[in-house]
A and B are shown apart, each in its own frame.
Chain A
Amino acid sequence: MNLRRLRAIVRRVVAEVRRDRPSLALLFIAPIVVTGLLTFILREAETPDVTAVLVASADTPGPVVAAIEGALERGGIKTVQFDEATARVNVAHNPGWVAILLPPNLAGGTITLVTNGLNPSAEGAQIGAVQRVLVGAAVAAAGARAPTIAHETVYGTPSTDPMVPFAPAIVAFFLYFFVYLLTGISFLRERTGGTLERLMATPVTRSEVVTGYAIGFALFATIQVAVVLTWALGAIHVPALGPIPEFAIGLGIPVAGSPLIAFLVVVLLGLGAVSLGIFLSTFARTELQVIQFIPVVLVPQFLLSGVLFPVETLPAVVRPLVAVMPLGYAVDALRQVFIGGADLASGALQGDLFVLALVAVLFAWVASLTIRREVV
Chain B
Amino acid sequence: MDAAIRAVALVKHFGVVAAVDGLTFDLAPGRIYGLLGPNGSGKTTLIRLLTGMTRPTSGQAEVLGVAMPNRPNLARIGYMTQADGIYPALTAGENVQFFAAAYGIEDMARVREALALVDLADREKTIAATLSGGQRRRLSLACALVHQPEVLFLDEPTVGVDPLLRVQFWAHFRKLADAGTTIVVSSHVMDEADRCDELLFMRAGKVIARGSGATLREQAGTKDLEAAFLHFAGVGAVAA
Q: A residues within 8 Å of B by Cβ?
A: 2, 4-5, 7-9, 11-12, 15-16, 19-20, 193-195, 197-205, 373-376
Please indicate the chain A residues that have their CB under 8 angstroms from the CB of B74 in the complex.
201-203
**From residue B141, how far is it (CB to closest CB) to chain A in Å?**
12
Q: Is B103 an interface residue (CB 8 A)?
A: yes
Which are the 9 A-B pairs with shortest beta-carbon distances? A8-B101, A194-B83, A194-B85, A198-B85, A374-B69, A202-B102, A201-B79, A375-B71, A375-B69
**From residue A9, how far is it (CB to closest CB) to chain B in Å?**
8
Please indicate the chain B residues that have their CB under 8 angstroms from the CB of A376 in the complex.
71
Please indicate the chain A residues that have their CB under 8 angstroms from the CB of B81 in the complex.
194, 197-198, 201
Bound state CA distance, A11 and B106, in angstroms?
13
Known pairs A198-B99, A203-B71, A374-B54; A12 contacts B87 (CB<8 A): yes
Please indicate the chain B residues that have their CB under 8 angstroms from the CB of A2 in the complex.
104
Q: Is B209 an interface residue (CB 8 A)?
A: no
Contacting residue for A201 out of B53, B72, B89, B101, CB 8 A: B53
Q: In the complex, which of the residues A5, A9, A205, A374 has the most CB atoms of chain B within 10 Å of its own CB atom?
A: A374
Flag B103-117 by CB within 8 Å of A: 1 or 0 each.
Answer: 110100000000000
- B71 with A205: CB separation less than 8 A: yes
Bound state CA distance, A11 and B87, in angstroms?
13
**From residue B100, how far is it (CB to closest CB) to chain A in Å?**
8
**From residue A237, how far is it (CB to closest CB) to chain B in Å?**
41
**From residue A70, how far is it (CB to closest CB) to chain B in Å?**
70
Q: Is B32 an interface residue (CB 8 A)?
A: no
- B72 with A16: CB separation less than 8 A: no
Please indicate the chain B residues that have their CB under 8 angstroms from the CB of A201 in the complex.
51, 53, 74, 77, 79, 81
Q: Is B75 an interface residue (CB 8 A)?
A: yes
Considering the complex, give the chain B residue whose CB is closest to the CB of A17: B89
**From residue B129, how far is it (CB to closest CB) to chain A in Å?**
10
- 13 pairs from A and B in contact (CB 8 Å cutoff): A8-B97, A8-B102, A9-B102, A15-B94, A195-B87, A197-B83, A201-B53, A201-B74, A201-B81, A202-B99, A202-B102, A203-B72, A203-B104
Please indicate the chain A residues that have their CB under 8 angstroms from the CB of B75 in the complex.
202-203
- A12 with B85: CB separation less than 8 A: no
- B79 with A198: CB separation less than 8 A: yes
- B52 with A195: CB separation less than 8 A: no
- A374 with B102: CB separation less than 8 A: no
- A198 with B143: CB separation less than 8 A: yes
Q: Is B188 an interface residue (CB 8 A)?
A: no
Q: In the complex, which of the residues A195, A204, A373 has the most CB atoms of chain B within 10 Å of its own CB atom?
A: A195
- A16 with B71: CB separation less than 8 A: no
Contacting residue for A193 out of B51, B88, B99, CB 8 A: B88
**From residue B135, how far is it (CB to closest CB) to chain A in Å?**
16
Contacting residue for A374 out of B52, B85, B87, B98, CB 8 A: B52
**From residue A62, how far is it (CB to closest CB) to chain B in Å?**
77
Considering the complex, give the chain B residue whose CB is closest to the CB of A20: B89
Bound state CA distance, A375 and B63, in angstroms?
15
Bound state CA distance, A234 and B66, in angstroms?
61
**From residue B99, how far is it (CB to closest CB) to chain A in Å?**
7
Bound state CA distance, A4 and B97, in angstroms?
12
Q: Is B214 an interface residue (CB 8 A)?
A: no
Q: Is B70 an interface residue (CB 8 A)?
A: yes
Bound state CA distance, A134 and B87, in angstroms?
66
Considering the complex, give the chain A residue whose CB is closest to the CB of B105: A4
Flag B50-93 by CB within 8 Å of A: 1 or 0 each.
Answer: 01111100000000000001111011010101011111111000
Considering the complex, give the chain A residue whose CB is closest to the CB of B73: A203
Bound state CA distance, A201 and B77, in angstroms?
8
Bound state CA distance, A205 and B70, in angstroms?
11
- A193 with B83: CB separation less than 8 A: yes
Bound state CA distance, A2 and B102, in angstroms?
10
